[in-house]
Amino acid sequence: MLQFQVDSGKCVQCEACVKDCPRGSLRRKEGTPEAIATECLECQHCLAVCPAGAISVFGLNPANSLPLSDGAIPSRQQMKTFIRGRRSVRRFLDEDVPAALIDELLADLAHAPSGCNARDLTFSIVSGRKSMAALLGKLIQAVETKLLAGEIQADFVTEAVAAYRQNGTDAIFEGAPHLLVISHGEKAICAHEDVVLALAYFELLAQSAGLGTTWCGMVKFIADMMPEVGGWFGLAPNTYFYAMMFGKPAVRYARTVQKDSAARIRRIDFA
């Protein structure tokens, strides 16, 4: 249910909500906005754009939203430093991330963009070194079976298995205490893009909280060779997913790197 409501005592009749509705589902009637259609993207633009906090939708109270006042958004320089300073972390402390912090990060992650605002993603978490160690052992054993049968021939996978068997080295999860697996549901319009966008947002959220992250391409590669691996995470067959390791970093970087030359720019003018 849309549950579009207006506090007439607060409404300044600016029509900001009417003008900003992507579906044109609102109109102004006798000075007060009203819903004229049930079709809705559930974007909450109307709630967000109202300068007076007069709009409620889906039973949500605008007073519970975070204010976007001056200084609430990181500055251009802060974002520049943050993006340039982002690092993949492969050294982690022997500590778990508090569950409350993980829950908070995932609640924030629910605000990441998705195609048509479908928001049909599942965030699966493997938490704790004991659980991660068990997953690693299970993965190594399954991969060994495929290697012996000649069904996987990638050198980096062979090397990862050998390192684990020889000295217990974890070349798959790098000793991370947590793994986030993001997968799409049936309602996802842009399934691949939604998954990758969500992971990119999680990486920034996690690093802003002082955590280290690394995209776990090894698990995705193995799962592509061994579809049953997806089932370990509760995924239905043919469900696209990607994964990211995270935890408290055991390394601190002192400066950004310099990759400006990698910006391949093509300017196109259709005028």
Nearest CA-CA partner of 257 in 120, 84, 137: 84
What is the Cα 117 distance to its own chain's centre? 14
**Reported confidence tier of residue 230, pLDDT bands at 50, 70, 90:** very high
**Reported confidence tier of residue 2, pLDDT bands at 50, 70, 90:** confident
Name the residue with tokens 């200084």: 71
Q: Do residues 140 and 161 touch, judged by C-beta distance below 8 A?
A: yes
CA atoms within 13 A on the CB side of 158: 9
State residue 39's pLDDT score.
79
Express each pLDDT in 197-223 by its tens digit.
999 999 999 999 999 999 999 999 999
Can you tell me the distance from the alpha carbon of 214 to that of 196, in angstroms, rounded to the nearest whole number? 13
Residue 126 has pLDDT above 90, yes or no: yes
State residue 149's pLDDT score.
87
Domains in the chain, CATH or no CATH each? 5-64 (3.30.70.20), 78-247 (3.40.109.10)
State residue 197's pLDDT score.
98
Residue 153 has pLDDT above 80, yes or no: no
Token pair in block for residue 104: 């908070």
At 207, which amino acid appears?
Q
Residue 148 has pLDDT above 90, yes or no: no
State residue 188's pLDDT score.
94
Q: What is the pTM of this model?
A: 0.93
What is the Cα 267 distance to its own chain's centre? 30
Average pLDDT, the chain: 95
| Burial degree of 247 (CB within 10 A; 0-12, 13-18, 19+) | buried
Express each pLDDT in 40-90 by its tens digit.
899 999 999 999 999 999 999 999 999 999 999 999 999 999 999 999 999
**Reported confidence tier of residue 171, pLDDT bands at 50, 70, 90:** very high
State residue 152's pLDDT score.
78
CA atoms within 13 A on the CB side of 12: 7
Query: What is the average per-residue pLDDT within 164-191?
Result: 96
Query: What is the average per-residue pLDDT within 263-271?
Result: 96
